[in-house]
C-alpha cells in the first residue's frame, strides 16, 4: 500500500513540475545574427496584483551559439503595473565566451505586472551597459484608473476636484467623465474634474480612443444644508448721524425653509431682522452678524464691523500775532476743535468770497505780509466741513506808498539740478545732466552748466554705419550702441512773478554723438573688440540758446526748458532744486 502512495506522490510532484514549466511562454526571438540566436520567455502571474505577491518573470533561451565575443544585448519591455500605469523595464544580457546553449536565468528578473504592453522593444547591441536615461513606454491600449480621488462628502454649494489614481491613456485617447453610467450624460473630460454638485449621484470615468477601457466610479454624497455667508457687503465707515445703511449677504446658500437672520453685537445677541439685506442706523461703532437658520440647523456666523465717525468741530481760536511789522512772516496755529477721521485743517487767505487756499495742517506760515490781510481755517473731510474761523493780521511801520518798491520783492537765491533729455522717448537712456544757479525776485539771473557722466574715446569719425575700413587691418560694423555726450555753458535772465517765471539765455554748447562699432578679422564673424566712431553729421558745437519756465514755491523750485545749438540740434532739460 505504501508503495502505491509513494508512486502517486511522485506522479503529483512530476505533474506539478510539468505544469510549472509549461507556464513559461516563448515570445519569439529577442536577437539573432550569424553567431547567436537569443529567444525570450515569460512566466506571467495571473494574479500578481491581488496582494499575494505572485510576481512575473522573464528568462533567455540560447538556441544557437557560434563565435562568441564580449558584448551586451540591451533591451526593454513595457507593462501595466498594479495601478494600471504604463511602465518600462530596462534589461541587459552579456554574451561572452562562457555563454552556452540553453536557458539563462538573469538575476533580478521578477516584476509585478497586471498586463503586458509589449514583450521586447528597443533592442540594441553595445560594448557596455546602457546609460540610465529616460525611456518612454508605449502601448496602443488604454487602461482604466484604479480609483477616483478627491472629496466626495460635500455640502450643497461646495465644490470638489476629482483626480485619477493610476490608469493610462494611449495616444489620441481621452478621459471621459459621466453621471450615473458610462456613455450616458457626459459632464467633463481630462485627467481631473472640478464640479459643484447640488445632488447625490455616482460619477464614472473611462478612457476612450482606439480602445475603450472599463469604467471606474465613485459616489458623490451631497448634504443639502445651508452654507454660511461668504462675506457681508456694505459701507464700513459712516459719519455720525447717517441712517439707513444697507448691509447685504454675499455668497452662502439657503436650503429648504432656511432664512438669513441678522444680529447686533454678538451672534446670539439682539436679533435685528431677517432677509438677504438689512438697513441699520447705528449711533456708535457696532459689529453686525448674519447666519442661515432653519430651526436648530444654523450655519456659522459672518461678522461685519461698521465704524461710526464723529463729525469735526470748529477750532476755539487761532493762535498767532495780530500785529506784525511790514514784510514779516508769522506762524498761525489751531487751538481746540476736533478733527474727524480722514479730516484735516485747511488754511485760506483773503475774505469771503475771495478766499485762496494756502496750506493744510495744525500750523501755517503766512509768508511775508505787506498789507493787512485775513487768514481763515476750517476742518474739511469726509463727514463734514466746519464753519471758517478767521483772524485779521494788521501791519505796523508800513512805508509810505511812494517809497514802496516791490519790483524785486522776495529776493531769493536758488540752485537746481536735472537731466538733459537727448532721447525724449526714453528718459532712462540719458547720461547728461545740468546744474543751475540763480537769484532774484520778479526779475533775476541764472547761470547753467551741462555736463556728461561719460567720456567715451572715439578714435574714428564717420557718417556711414556700414563703413568697413578705418585705416587699420580688419573690418568694422555698427553694433547698435549709441552714446550722446553733452556740454554747455549758458547764462541769462528770468522774469515773471515770485512763483512762475520765464527764462531765456545763451552761451556755448557742444553735442557729440558716438556710434558703437565692432572690429572683425576678414575671415571671422566673431568680433575681436568694440570701439566707437563719432557721427560727424549729428555732432554739433557753437552758439547755444535756451528758454524755459521756473516754478518757485516755498523751499522747492522746478525748471524745465529747451536748448538749441545753432538751431541745428535741439534737446530738452528738466530739474528740481531748493530756494534759499
Q: pLDDT by residue (tens digit) across 52-85?
A: 678 899 999 999 998 877 899 999 999 999 889 9
Nearest partner of 346 among 338, 357, 337, 354, judged by Cα: 357
Q: Write down the pLDDT at residue 187.
A: 93
Contact 87, 54 (CB under 8 A): no
Say what percent of the chain tops pLDDT 70.
89
290 vs 470 pLDDT, higher one: 290
Q: Write down the pLDDT at residue 226.
A: 83
User: Taking 90 as the threshold, does the pLDDT of residue 260 lie above it?
Assistant: yes
Percent of the chain as helix, strand, coil, to the nearest 5: 5, 55, 40
Strand partners, 143: 168
53 vs 165 pLDDT, higher one: 165
Q: What is the pLDDT of residues 368-403, one digit of tens each?
A: 888 899 999 999 988 889 999 999 999 987 776 544
- Residue 140 CA to residue 173 CA, distance in Å, equals 10
Q: What is the pLDDT of residues 395-451, one digit of tens each?
A: 987 776 544 444 444 567 999 999 998 764 444 567 899 999 999 888 999 999 999
Q: What is the mean pLDDT of residues 320-327?
A: 89
3-state secondary structure 25-91: EEEEEEEECCCEEEEEEEECCCCCCCCCCCCEEEEEEEEEECCCCCEEEEEEEEEECCCCCEEEEEE
**pTM check: above 0.85:** no
The residue whose grid cell reads 558745437 is: 541
User: Taking 50 as the threshold, does the pLDDT of residue 8 lie above it?
Assistant: no
User: Taking 50 as the threshold, does the pLDDT of residue 14 lie above it?
Assistant: no
Highest mean pLDDT among 134-138, 471-475, 543-547: 543-547
Q: pLDDT band for 6, please (50, 70, 90 cuts).
A: very low
| Strands (E) located in 201-251 | 201-208, 216-223, 231-233, 237-239, 245-250
Q: Write down the pLDDT at residue 1.
A: 47
3-state secondary structure 181-216: CCCCEEEEECCEEEECCCCCEEEEEEEECCCCCCCE
Nearest partner of 234 among 305, 340, 311, judged by Cα: 305
Q: Write down the pLDDT at residue 30.
A: 95
Q: Write down the pLDDT at residue 522.
A: 64
Strand partners, 314: none
Q: Write down the pLDDT at residue 332.
A: 95
User: Taking 50 as the threshold, does the pLDDT of residue 304 lie above it?
Assistant: yes
Contact 276, 260 (CB under 8 A): yes
Q: pLDDT band for 524, please (50, 70, 90 cuts).
A: low
User: Taking 90 as the threshold, does the pLDDT of residue 555 lie above it?
Assistant: no
Contact 495, 504 (CB under 8 A): no
Contact 156, 255 (CB under 8 A): yes
User: Taking 90 as the threshold, does the pLDDT of residue 250 lie above it?
Assistant: yes
- Residue 21 CA to residue 105 CA, distance in Å, equals 14
Q: pLDDT band for 474, please (50, 70, 90 cuts).
A: low
Q: Write down the pLDDT at residue 208.
A: 94
Choice among 27-41, 144-158, 303-317 with the minimum mean pLDDT: 144-158
Q: Write down the pLDDT at residue 467.
A: 57
Expressed in angstroms, the distance from the first to the final Cα of the chain is 131
Number of residues written out for the chain: 580
Q: Write down the pLDDT at residue 104.
A: 94
Q: What is the mean pLDDT of residues 149-163?
A: 88
User: Taking 70 as the threshold, does the pLDDT of residue 468 lie above it?
Assistant: no
- And the C-alpha cell for 279? 438697513
565 vs 457 pLDDT, higher one: 565
Q: What is the mean pLDDT of residues 196-212?
A: 91
The residue whose grid cell reads 557729440 is: 512
Q: What is the mean pLDDT of residues 329-336?
A: 94
- Residue 38 CA to residue 51 CA, distance in Å, equals 34
Amino acid at each position: 500500500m505504501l508503495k502505491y502512495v509513494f508512486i502517486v506522490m511522485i506522479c503529483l510532484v512530476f505533474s506539478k513540475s510539468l505544469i510549472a514549466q509549461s507556464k513559461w511562454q516563448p515570445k519569439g526571438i529577442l536577437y539573432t545574427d550569424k553567431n547567436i540566436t537569443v529567444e525570450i520567455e515569460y512566466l506571467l502571474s495571473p494574479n500578481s496584483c491581488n496582494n499575494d505577491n505572485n510576481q512575473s518573470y522573464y528568462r533567455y533561451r540560447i538556441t544557437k551559439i557560434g563565435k562568441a565575443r564580449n558584448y551586451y544585448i540591451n533591451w526593454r519591455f513595457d507593462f501595466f503595473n498594479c495601478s494600471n500605469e504604463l511602465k518600462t523595464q530596462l534589461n541587459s544580457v552579456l554574451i561572452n565566451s562562457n555563454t552556452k546553449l540553453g536557458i539563462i536565468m538573469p538575476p533580478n528578473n521578477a516584476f509585478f505586472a497586471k498586463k503586458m504592453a509589449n514583450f521586447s522593444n528597443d533592442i540594441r547591441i553595445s560594448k557596455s551597459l546602457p546609460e540610465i536615461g529616460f525611456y518612454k513606454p508605449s502601448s496602443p491600449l488604454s487602461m482604466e484608473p484604479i480609483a477616483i480621488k478627491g472629496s466626495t462628502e460635500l455640502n450643497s454649494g461646495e465644490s470638489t476636484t476629482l483626480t485619477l489614481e493610476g490608469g493610462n491613456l494611449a495616444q489620441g485617447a481621452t478621459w471621459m467623465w459621466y453621471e450615473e453610467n458610462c456613455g450616458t450624460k457626459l459632464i467633463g473630460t481630462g485627467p481631473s474634474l472640478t464640479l459643484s454638485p447640488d445632488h447625490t449621484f455616482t460619477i464614472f470615468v473611462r478612457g476612450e480612443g482606439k480602445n475603450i477601457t472599463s469604467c471606474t466610479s465613485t459616489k458623490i454624497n451631497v448634504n443639502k444644508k445651508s452654507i454660511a455667508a461668504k462675506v457681508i457687503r456694505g459701507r464700513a465707515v459712516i459719519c455720525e448721524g447717517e441712517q439707513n445703511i444697507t448691509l447685504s449677504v454675499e455668497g452662502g446658500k439657503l436650503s429648504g425653509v432656511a432664512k438669513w437672520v441678522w444680529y447686533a453685537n454678538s451672534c446670539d445677541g439682539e436679533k435685528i431682522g431677517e432677509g438677504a439685506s438689512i438697513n441699520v442706523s447705528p449711533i456708535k461703532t457696532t459689529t453686525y452678524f448674519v447666519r442661515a437658520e432653519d430651526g436648530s440647523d444654523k450655519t456659522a456666523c459672518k461678522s461685519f464691523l461698521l465704524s461710526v465717525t464723529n463729525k469735526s468741530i470748529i477750532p476755539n481760536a487761532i493762535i498767532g500775532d495780530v500785529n506784525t511789522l511790514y514784510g514779516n512772516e508769522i506762524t498761525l496755529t489751531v487751538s481746540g476743535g476736533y478733527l474727524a477721521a480722514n479730516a484735516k485743517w485747511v488754511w485760506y487767505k483773503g475774505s469771503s468770497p475771495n478766499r485762496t487756499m494756502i496750506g493744510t495742517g495744525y500750523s501755517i506760515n503766512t509768508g511775508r505780509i505787506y498789507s493787512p490781510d485775513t487768514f481763515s481755517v476750517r476742518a474739511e473731510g469726509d463727514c463734514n466741513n466746519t464753519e471758517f474761523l478767521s483772524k485779521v493780521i494788521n501791519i505796523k511801520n508800513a512805508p509810505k506808498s511812494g517809497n514802496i518798491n516791490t519790483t524785486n520783492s522776495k529776493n531769493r537765491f536758488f540752485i537746481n539740478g536735472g537731466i538733459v533729455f537727448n532721447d525724449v522717448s526714453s528718459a532712462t537712456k540719458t547720461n547728461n545732466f545740468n546744474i543751475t544757479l540763480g537769484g532774484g525776485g520778479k526779475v533775476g539771473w541764472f547761470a547753467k552748466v551741462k555736463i556728461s557722466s561719460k567720456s567715451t574715446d572715439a578714435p574714428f569719425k564717420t557718417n556711414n554705419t556700414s563703413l568697413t575700413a578705418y585705416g587699420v587691418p580688419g573690418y568694422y560694423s555698427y553694433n547698435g550702441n549709441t552714446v550722446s555726450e553733452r556740454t554747455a555753458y549758458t547764462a541769462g535772465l528770468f522774469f515773471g512773478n515770485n512763483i512762475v517765471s520765464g527764462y531765456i539765455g545763451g552761451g556755448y554748447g557742444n553735442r557729440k554723438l558716438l556710434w558703437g562699432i565692432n572690429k572683425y578679422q576678414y575671415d571671422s564673424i566673431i568680433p575681436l573688440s568694440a570701439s566707437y566712431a563719432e557721427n560727424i553729421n549729428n555732432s554739433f558745437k557753437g552758439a547755444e540758446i535756451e528758454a524755459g519756465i521756473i516754478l518757485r514755491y516755498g523751499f522747492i523750485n522746478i525748471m524745465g526748458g529747451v536748448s538749441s545749438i545753432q538751431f541745428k540740434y535741439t534737446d530738452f532739460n528738466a530739474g528740481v532744486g531748493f530756494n534759499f
